[in-house]
Amino acid sequence: MVKLRLKRCGRKQRAIYRIVAIDVRSRREGRDLRKVGFYDPINNQTYLNVPDILYFLEKGAQPTGTVHDILKKAGVFTELSLNQAKFN
């Protein structure tokens, strides 16, 4: 099973996180399938590669709680529902 989760990067006390698609059995810093964005909680910046995120969500990837909140705030789930409405 694939999850969309955060991978910690950056210095001590200045963490930034990459949003990655990764196998559930891998550890937090393990090898990811694809980098799909990043999140900087200090400057409150977010970059999302929306087509890649939509691809993984359509294939059944589950976002973790924090990633779900980030994606919800960015409006990715509305795009997902629009894409599914087109195909049905």
Contacts by 70-79, CB closer than 8 A, 24 or more apart? 70/19, 70/39, 70/46, 71/4, 73/46, 74/46, 74/48, 74/50, 76/48, 76/50, 79/50, 79/54
Question: For each successive 10 residues of the chain (88 residues), what is the average pLDDT?
Answer: 91 92 83 91 92 91 92 84 62
Q: Return the CATH fold of 2-87.
A: S16 Ribosomal Protein; Chain: A; (3.30.1320)
| pLDDT score for 36 | 93
Q: In the chain, where are the structural domains located?
A: 2-87
Supply the pTM of this predicted model. 0.83
Q: Of the candidates 14, 21, 12, which has an alpha carbon nearest to the alpha carbon of residue 64?
A: 21
Q: Of the candidates 85, 6, 9, 2, which has an alpha carbon nearest to the alpha carbon of residue 48?
A: 6
